[in-house]
Amino acid sequence: MTGEGWWWRAAARVGGAVAVLVTVATLAFVALQFIPGDPAEAALGGPGSQASAAALEAARAEFGLDRPILTQYFDFMWRLLRGDLGVSYAQRIPVSEVLGNAIGPTLLLTFTALLLAWALALVSVVIASGHSRRARSVASALDLTAAAMPNFWLASLLVLLFASVLGWFPPVSTGGFSGIVLPALALAIPTAGFLAQVCRAGVDAARTAPFIESARARGETELGIRVRHVMRHGLVPGLNLTAWALGSLLGGAAVIEVIFARPGLGRTLVTGVLGRDVPVVLGVVLFSACAYVVVALVTDLVISRVDPRTESRLAQAVPRA
Amino acid sequence: MSARQPGIPGEIPQKVSVHLPADSTAATPGRVLARVESLTVRFPGHRAPAIDGVSLVVHAGECVALVGESGSGKSLTARALLGLLPRAAIATHTSLEIVAPGGTLRAAPEPGHRRWDAIRGAHGSLIPQDALGALDPLRRVEHEVGDALRLHRLASGAERRHRVLAALNAAGMPEPARHLRQRSDELSGGLRQRALVATALIADPEFIVADEPTTALDAGHRGNVLARLRQRVDQGCGVLLITHDLASVRGVADRVLVMRHGRIIEAGEPAHVLSDPTHPFTRELLESSPAGKPRGVRLTGASVSPDDSQELPASAPVAPIAAPRDTCAPRLELAEISVSFGTHQVLRSVSLELGAGETVGLVGESGSGKTTLLRVALGLQRPDAGTVRIDGVDRQALSAAARLQLRRRLAFVPQDPLDSFPRGATGGQILADALRAAGIPRASRTAQSAALATEVGLETDLLRRPTQSLSGGQRQRLSIARALARDPEVLLLDEPVSALDVTVQARVLDLLDEVQARRGTSFLFVSHDVDVIHHMSDRVLRLENGEIARG
Amino acid sequence: MPRHDRLPQRNGFSAGEWIALAALGVLVACALAPALLAPVPPLAVNPAEAFTPPSLTHPFGTDDSGRDVLSRVIFGARDSLVIGAVATLLGLAAGIALGALAGGSRGRLLAPVRFIADRVIEALFAFPGLLLALLLITVWGPGTASIVVAVAISTAPGYARMVRGGVRQALGSGPVEAARLQGDRAARVWATLVLPEAMRPVLVLATLGVGHAVVLAAALGFLGLGSPPPAPEWGAMLNSGRPYLTKAWWITFFPGAMILAVGIATTVIGRALERERRFA
């Protein structure tokens, strides 16, 4: 992409991302309309709360539930824009506060897991970029298995092996560094498996590409071909998946934080789900979706600078987990 | 060496001539730069060897041309000399020698051995065919071109950039500084090929293998690249030129080798081989080339190759077609067509007329707007300005239904027929579908399909096979049959023979002449190959940057 | 020249792929006729035999109430696979509809439709799968039906994207252009060319999708959002075994291993189908 054209395209992409964010919020609002029963009742603790009519009225007014739906929608969007996600039904404090407390540990866990996942995936890809067919088959089988592993099962196995049997790491988060290793590993391994599969596809395509022959014809060494040409092409599809990987890790964090009793968005979310605390659940899920959109936009822009080929995002079959 | 054909109106672009030094015919060959004896290459799973006992030598100060069709083994042979055979290849030879660092001739290393890294790029190099992708799309042009200097530690930093610019200039790239920071995807086909030439020559290797280095270039630039290669030869390098076009080696090569099915069937000086070939296949190659052959003269039929039993033998020679000038409205008229995509102006006020039974040839480099013009004529592209008239009727002025009727009078033969066939369909299904669209009742479709197939020289048995299993020539015949299904007045052909071997191309061109003589169809023939255009057309129009160029 | 560098393509499945197919077959059999295959009823409580490790009588051991883990795993196959299959079918239907709408809306008139459909697909895709499912379950309440629909909606945007891309590509492809030039009507072009071409990857996607749906449903079951205990659902079983991890690892291990097996089998078969389709 020539320099001048790129800024326009970037602006268009940013505009598109904003439109997606608006749609995300709209879909969340639509989902909210499907809560069965009286939402005011749910706000007061559910059908079993036996709230009085007056209390229901008050709740309805407080949450704006008596106004026409379009007004409610714009109200909702306006509040979102100002960062107001409502008040937790259970804890009676603003959701933004709840999230604010929980976000730090989750981001720490997620980014650690992402780095770990990339490190593992790179090892697998480097093994695959050579010529040994046996090494490639073994790496391929490992990646497949890792990607298919349910992370809650893997977490249990890791706890069993490293905490109970070997005693190297604590089974439950203590707050120190050693407490993050097992949770991060449990999150990282399946993601690494998937990243490695995608990168390996890129590497395989690059290894037989015509420009490899051109490089050889210039006198490029085997190592040079691997590092300077093949690896780069292998990593680009993986980079495209960064946003998806982040989303998947955020999702996995929900389960992992429960298993390891770590504080964070995930545990907050699960508690919210079990208690039907809709504002909290909505808050966490909206945050994750928006984080995805932003990260996807940034990686898109960065990659389009480096690789002008892929105009549209690659429509790959990414798993939903 | 320009050619003027009699009886054809309009200007013909000059072919740039390449001059041999005065004493080339009696040149004593210099030292040997590359030699192979009795090379045989096999691939697992294939019974016949890809290369069968080929011996070849290239000296300093000479240009050896290796000519053959696709599958002849010429590209593989050249790569064997540089140790670039694919990993799956099993190669044997009695000797393989290549010029090594220091300038002496030494036995070549094992394939994949590290010693090749010092040889390739600095002493022996390859100019690859511009398959889209011969340059790494993630790296800048500057880095790709200067790579040989970096790898052989010949220059660094500012000096390297300086030499990169010089090499690009020498390869004929306009404004090289502008393209340094771009990536190969951002260059047009012609620019990419020139960058590839620069990449191979920048470290001044003695032995140069040029694999079809000019396919993406038009006549003018083609001559330039060949001239520069010739310059290198005169300075003492040795060039192995791979090409499929036998006629083009005149004036460039000192020796010609013709390959077929992995064997060298003819060797000698161009003057001898081109004027009096001994092997029948060489003769067929020469006759199939449309260069210099006027309109209406058959390209095939004189000597039939024994291997292509699938294609039916040609019928009687076709008489040259006089271009009839009707007083009726022209069958197709494009008036002042302008098209722009965003800010890029693709066509500027282009006009052309096509009368009954005549062929108008449209020639131009890739990117000149030829395909867009065809799409406008077909109704696939709406022009920003201008009108399209079919039999005098303005298409835009009609209702959608009437426009559809009008569309039936045109038919299209695309560049890549396989791309336009539904996946997995058989030839018979495609023809039947075309007949259905033309309104032929179901009962007579089978018979008509067979008739169409026979008309284009396709055996009816082949109609039962899926199109993927047909050869390039057979597919093109099927594509023509499909277009003829509705008996169109005008046939629009977009590079119909560009992807075919010269001998197959000749047969298809003759077929098109026959069809025109029999049905009186008008052709709008688009190609970048000047020789084909001049052979096929009553009138030639040249498109340059979206405008009709004169002269 | 480079065409020789490609490895020869195999026709048919390899040994590993047949094994995967067989394994999946066994699991499907478990789902269809669990009572025939399970040695004992899954809910049969036997406190005396609680926490017995894997042995000949109890190949997968027993859990905290003495129930045979193998039988529970076999019965659990029904839950997981049925949920996975139904959710995949629903998700496919929704995804195909949405993707075809987004990909097929062309021209100025339909631009708003295309814009909205595109944004909906991207927005749905932005929600991580598990989180979207959790949101929907919060809204509808837990239970098997909720899980099925939640998983379906979570997986739909992935299919929608593929179909959208396939439709767009088909609409711009050579055969469609040739058909338009022939004068074929839009309905015919869609029915004979666009939809078949866009649907080509669907079988592969669906196979892979079943694996993902099973994992997702199991995660929800693990969190206690599926059928209430003592229903033999793999995720819930896995969760119930966690307190006893050190003394009875098999309660957690085997249900999870089954989930992994489904995932591996579907991936292997899906890849094999992809390869066959590409080189057919």
Residue in C130, C164, C256 closest to A321 by CB: C130
pLDDT of residue B302: 40
Residues of C in contact with A252 (CB under 8 A): 130
Nearest Cα of chain C lies from the Cα of A46 at a distance, in angstroms, of: 12
Residues of B in contact with C173 (CB under 8 A): 419
Question: What average pLDDT does the segment B513-537 reach?
Answer: 90
The identity of residue B473, as a single letter, is G
Count of pairs with CB atoms under 8 A, one residue in B, one in C:
54
| C179 Cβ contact partners less than 8 Å away, ≥ 6 residues apart | B437, C188, C189, C192, C193
Checking if the pLDDT of A301 tops 50, the result is yes
pLDDT of residue A45: 60
The one-character DSSP state at B365 is -
Tokens of B123: 């002493």
Residue in A218, A232, A306 closest to B199 by CB: A218
Q: Is the CB of A9 inside 8 Å of chain B's CB atoms?
A: no
| A192 phi/psi in degrees, rounded to 5 | -60, -40
Number of helices and strands (H, E) in chain A? Answer: 14, 0
For C92-142, write each residue's pLDDT tens digit.
Answer: 999 999 999 999 888 888 889 999 999 999 999 999 989 999 999 988 888
- Given the structure tokens 């309104």, which residue do they identify? B439
- Rounded Cα distance, B163 and B37, in Å: 37
pLDDT of residue C279: 65
b/e burial code for range B475-501 (CB count within 10 A of at least 16 → b): bbbbbbbbbbbbebbbbbbbbbbebbb
Question: What average pLDDT does the segment B61-87 reach?
Answer: 90
pLDDT of residue A50: 65
CA A273, chain centre distance (Å): 19
Q: How confident is the model at residue C230 (pLDDT cuts 50, 70, 90)?
A: confident
**B86 and C1 in contact by Cβ < 8 A?**
yes
Q: How confident is the model at residue C273 (pLDDT cuts 50, 70, 90)?
A: confident
Output helix, strand, coil percentages for chain A, rounded to the nearest 5.
75, 0, 25
Tokens of C9: 């393509």
pLDDT of residue A42: 62
The one-character DSSP state at B139 is S
Share of chain B above pLDDT 70, in %: 88
Best CA proximity match to B229, nearest among B262, B254, B264, B263: B254
Radius of gyration of chain C (CA): 23
The one-character DSSP state at B444 is G
Residues of A in contact with B185 (CB under 8 A): 308-309
pLDDT of residue C261: 93
pLDDT of residue C280: 56
Checking if the pLDDT of A319 tops 60, the result is no
Look at residue B101 and give its three-state secondary structure: coil
Kindly report whether the peptide bond that precedes residue B137 is cis, defined as omega within 30 degrees of 0. Answer: no
Q: Is the CB of B377 inside 8 Å of chain C's CB atoms?
A: no
- pTM for the model stands at 0.81
- Given the structure tokens 């992995």, which residue do they identify? B262
Please, are residues B326 and B353 in contact by the beta-carbon 8 Å criterion? no
Least confident of A41-45, A282-286, B30-34, B171-175: A41-45
The one-character DSSP state at B495 is S
Tokens of A127: 């093994």
- Rounded Cα distance, B146 and B139, in Å: 11
What subunits make at least 3 CB pairs under 8 angstroms with C?
A: A, B
Best CA proximity match to B431, nearest among B444, C4, B419: B444
Checking if the pLDDT of B105 tops 90, the result is no
Question: What average pLDDT does the segment A20-45 reach?
Answer: 80
Residue B536 CA neighbour count, 13 Å, CB half: 35
DSSP-assigned states of every residue in A195-218: HHHHHHHHHHHHHTSHHHHHHHHT
- Rounded Cα distance, A50 and B540, in Å: 91
Residues of C in contact with A274 (CB under 8 A): 223-225
In terms of pLDDT, which residue wins out, B546 or B261? Answer: B261
- Rounded Cα distance, C170 and C199, in Å: 10
Look at residue C102 and give its three-state secondary structure: helix
C-alpha torsion C169→C171→C172→C177, nearest 10? 140
For A87-108, write each residue's pLDDT tens digit.
Answer: 887 778 888 888 888 899 999 9
Give, rounded to a whole angstrom, the gap between the first and last alpha carbons of chain B.
Answer: 17
DSSP-assigned states of every residue in C180-224: HHHT--HHHHIIIIIHHHHHTTHHHHHHHHHHHHHHHHHHHHHTT
Q: How confident is the model at residue B515 (pLDDT cuts 50, 70, 90)?
A: very high
pLDDT of residue A114: 94
- Rounded Cα distance, C21 and C248, in Å: 31
Please, are residues A153 and C252 in contact by the beta-carbon 8 Å criterion? yes
pLDDT of residue C222: 92
Among chain B residues, the shortest Cα distance to A231 is held by B138
**A214 and B199 in contact by Cβ < 8 A?**
yes
Residue in B82, B136, B185 closest to A217 by CB: B82
Look at residue B353 and give its three-state secondary structure: strand
Please, are residues C118 and C102 in contact by the beta-carbon 8 Å criterion? yes
pLDDT of residue C38: 80
- Rounded Cα distance, A71 and A78, in Å: 10
What subunits make at least 3 CB pairs under 8 angstroms with A?
A: B, C
Please, are residues A185 and A115 in contact by the beta-carbon 8 Å criterion? no
DSSP-assigned states of every residue in B156-202: -HHHHHHHHHHHHHHTT-SSHHHHTTSBGGGS-HHHHHHHHHHHHHT
Residue in C123, C127, C256 closest to A288 by CB: C127
- Rounded Cα distance, A314 and A295, in Å: 16
Q: How confident is the model at residue B29 (pLDDT cuts 50, 70, 90)?
A: low
Among chain A residues, the shortest Cα distance to B79 is held by A217
Strands B522-527 and B359-363: parallel
Q: How confident is the model at residue A237 (pLDDT cuts 50, 70, 90)?
A: confident
Least confident of A17-26, B4-13, B86-95, C48-57: B4-13
What subunits make at least 3 CB pairs under 8 angstroms with B?
A: A, C
Question: What average pLDDT does the segment A302-318 reach?
Answer: 55
For A37-90, write each residue's pLDDT tens digit.
Answer: 766 666 666 555 666 777 777 777 766 677 778 888 888 888 888 888 878 877
- Rounded Cα distance, A170 and B436, in Å: 74
Question: What average pLDDT does the segment C15-41 reach?
Answer: 86
Please, are residues B53 and B40 in contact by the beta-carbon 8 Å criterion? yes
Mean pLDDT of chain B: 83
| B547 phi/psi in degrees, rounded to 5 | -125, 155
Most confident listed range (A29-33, B508-512, C6-10):
B508-512
Which secondary-structure segment (H or E) carries B526? strand B522-527
Q: Is the CB of B461 inside 8 Å of chain A's CB atoms?
A: no
Q: Is the CB of B344 inside 8 Å of chain A's CB atoms?
A: no
**C182 and B433 in contact by Cβ < 8 A?**
yes
- Rounded Cα distance, A183 and A257, in Å: 8
- Rounded Cα distance, B113 and B94, in Å: 19
Checking if the pLDDT of A297 tops 80, the result is yes
Question: What average pLDDT does the segment A207-214 reach?
Answer: 88
Please, are residues B354 and B522 in contact by the beta-carbon 8 Å criterion? yes
pLDDT of residue A75: 84
Q: Is B1 exposed, middle or buried (0-12, 13-18, 19+ CB in 10 A)?
A: exposed
The identity of residue C170, as a single letter, is A
The one-character DSSP state at A296 is H
Least confident of B164-168, B362-366, B372-376: B362-366
Tokens of C147: 């899980």
In terms of pLDDT, which residue wins out, B358 or A43? Answer: B358
